A and B are shown apart, each in its own frame.
Chain A
């Protein structure tokens, strides 16, 4: 036994070590994701037997006006979220000074990042509250009346995305601050000697060195935008009349509230396909970088 173990230890040890993580991840995460694709081809209320209906869920989905509202909102999220990296960079540039007390001020800027998105949702619900909220106060200061943004179907998604941008911008700021602290002093020095200043310096010397950070910032922002669920759930529950719903929320609503698990799975599958395009792009970049490094 001991001998057998010793002879095979070189491959048995790594296999045993990776197994718990691999099995758990494979069963709970990967297999579940695949199973959803399967469920999407069925009609199922979550309790009884599943009934095979082929692509009927998808056919229904493509004729469902709510699906297009959700999809449009996902696009709005994605586009508006792209403000997070440049805003984050701007704040990072603003606070990147070594002065006594700046470290503390900087860390206060990070706070939205660690807040639960539920908390962010509540905070902004309060900001948007008609008459009493911060937004109403500001509008009143200028002699205007703030619209009830969360119950107006034209404003609601923009209002929710604005709330979500708050932590996302903080995230990008953290990434860029780290990137700025890793710039090559020699290159900056060389740039200064060559007379680069301000915008030129940023454009030609600083940003090229931040390419990797920008890549990560955009990646986490895309994922963040497509993942949006918590804030919508807390602030609007997709309302009014589904006008602020996104695919993730619509899926949840259909499954949990309407017991249409097959239909919900179909929505999740569409979301998955959108995300998969992005994941593949991201992974090929990461793996190419890995292989170059190896």
Chain B
């Protein structure tokens, strides 16, 4: 291990070390703590300029209730779920199929298709903005959740295919030969051998995709305008314009936007890290 582990016997060194880490962590997360604390403050304190002193009154419940009742945040939240969940499922299906083919079949152009998936994934979003927006208008899907779902599925399939391809390619070759020798068709091999074995990868990918899609802002503002379809990210930006200095409510809204990915992250931390670092560590 590097750096050299602090020995178990050095109790004081260890305590000092943990204290140091916590200190740095507090600075690191300082901005976030500021927002969390602000979301607890009452409107009177915020308006009266008491932003850092001891609150005269706690507004925790009022603030979060206000976010959900006096603004369309509940609707935005629901929209985000309606957009994110089907998108994740769609990407998982398409990328598993494509990744399986790209990793297990050698055909002319295999590398080219792979390179297009990877390269397309790095394109700046703005380069496809106008045609995608135009496409959705022509399909009569502009300002619907479906427009966002279609775009997210298409775009994330690039990254996800790279991900699944690498994972399936790392499975031992002889497993596939064995399945073939036993008469399994390519599709049977996919269902009975590949999918059970890539479940961890699918979990990791799902959580990554959830975060990416939930956090998207650019496409939300490009493809939607109505409150009835807008996801939380675009909604939060809207609320900021409306509330200007009601920092307690803006803070509460920010926390609402931030919480689902953070919860997902803590629930499936191992998978999230594994997913994010797979390419890096595999080398």
> Touching in the complex, A and B, CB below 8 A?
yes
Report A's interface with B, CB cutoff 8 A: 9-11, 13-14, 17-18, 20-22, 24-33, 35-36, 39, 46, 91, 93-99, 101-102, 105, 107-112, 114-119, 122-127, 129, 131-134, 137, 166, 171, 174-175, 177-180, 182-183, 185, 188, 201-202, 205-206, 212-213, 216-217, 223, 226-227, 229-230, 233-234, 247-248, 251-252, 255-256, 261, 264-265, 267-269, 271-272, 275, 278-279, 282-283, 286-287, 289-291
User: B258: which of A11, A116, A264 is its contact (CB, 8 Å)?
Assistant: A116
Kindly state the separation between the CA atoms of A17 and B51 in the bound complex, as whole angstroms. 57
| Secondary structure of the B contact surface, majority rule | helix
Query: 0/1 per residue, B81-100, Cβ < 8 Å to A?
Result: 00000000000001101101
The minimal Cβ–Cβ distance linking B203 to chain A, given in whole angstroms, is 16
- Complex Cα distance, B221 from A248, in Å, reads 14
Q: Across the interface, do B130 and A261 meet the contact criterion of CB distance under 8 Å?
A: yes
A205 nearest CB neighbor, chain B only: B2
Interface centre among A36, A123, A283 (most CB of B within 10 A): A123
Q: Is A134 touching B30 in the complex (CB atoms < 8 A)?
A: yes
B142-179 contacts to A, CB under 8 A, are 150-151, 153-155, 157-158, 161
Chain A residues with CB below 8 A from B129, complex form: 36, 251-252, 255, 264, 268
Q: Contact: B128 with A122, CB < 8 Å?
A: no
Pick from B150, B186, B279: contact of A13, CB below 8 A.
B186
Main SS of chain A's interface residues?
A: helix
- B221 neighbours in A (Cβ, 8 Å): 233, 256
Q: Which residues of B contact A223 (CB under 8 A)?
A: 122
Is the CB–CB distance between A212 and B247 below 8 Å? no
| Residues in chain B near residue A127, CB distance under 8 A | 31, 34
Contacts of B279 in A (CB 8 A): 216
CB neighbours of A188 from chain B (8 A): 1-2
Find out whether the CB atom of B186 lies under 8 angstroms from the CB atom of A175.
no
Known contacts A20-B97, A99-B14: A268-B126 contact under CB 8 Å: yes
CB-based contact B128/A36 at 8 Å: yes
Query: How many whole Å from B233's CB to the nearest CB in chain A?
Result: 4
The 5 closest A-B pairs by CB, nearest first: A178-B277, A28-B154, A21-B98, A32-B128, A116-B215
CA distance A291 to B6 in the complex (A): 42
User: Which single member of B95, B116, B283 contacts A212 (CB below 8 Å)?
Assistant: B283
What is the interface of chain B, defined by CB distance below 8 A to chain A?
1-3, 5-6, 14, 17-18, 21-22, 24-25, 28-32, 34-35, 38, 49, 51-52, 94-95, 97-98, 100-102, 104-105, 107, 111, 113-120, 122-135, 150-151, 153-155, 157-158, 161, 185-187, 190, 211, 214-215, 217-218, 221-222, 232-234, 236-237, 240, 247, 250-251, 253-254, 257-258, 261-262, 264-266, 269, 272-273, 276-277, 279-281, 283
Rounded to whole angstroms, the CA-CA distance of A279 and B217 in the bound complex is 23
The tally of CB-CB contacts under 8 A between chains A and B is: 308
Residues A101 and B118 in contact in the complex (CB < 8 Å), given A175-B276, A183-B2, A234-B237: no
B101, B133, B273, B281: the one within 8 Å of A18 (CB): B101
On chain A, the residues within 8 Å of B262 by CB distance are 111, 114-115
B21 and A102 within 8 A (CB): yes
Taking A115-B262, A118-B233 as contacts, is the C-beta distance between A21 and B128 under 8 angstroms?
Answer: no
Alpha-carbon gap, A97 to B102, bound state (A): 39
Q: A28 touches which one: B95, B150, B218, B232 (CB < 8 A)?
A: B150
C-alpha spacing A234/B215, complex, angstroms: 13
* Cross-chain pairs A/B with CB under 8 angstroms, 13 sampled: A17-B98, A24-B154, A30-B116, A112-B29, A114-B261, A114-B272, A116-B214, A133-B34, A183-B1, A248-B126, A251-B126, A268-B129, A289-B283
Query: A235 to B265, alpha carbons, bound, how many Å?
Result: 26
B257 and A116 contacting across the interface, CB-CB below 8 Å: yes
**Shortest beta-carbon distance, A101 to chain B, in Å?**
7
In contact, A282 and B3 (Cβ under 8 angstroms) = no
Which residues in A have their C-beta under 8 angstroms from that of B233? 116, 118-119, 230
Q: Complex Cα distance A114/B135, Å?
A: 30
Known A115-B261, A183-B2; contact A175-B277, beta-carbon cutoff 8 A: yes
Query: Is the Cβ of B257 less than 8 Å from the Cβ of A31?
Result: no
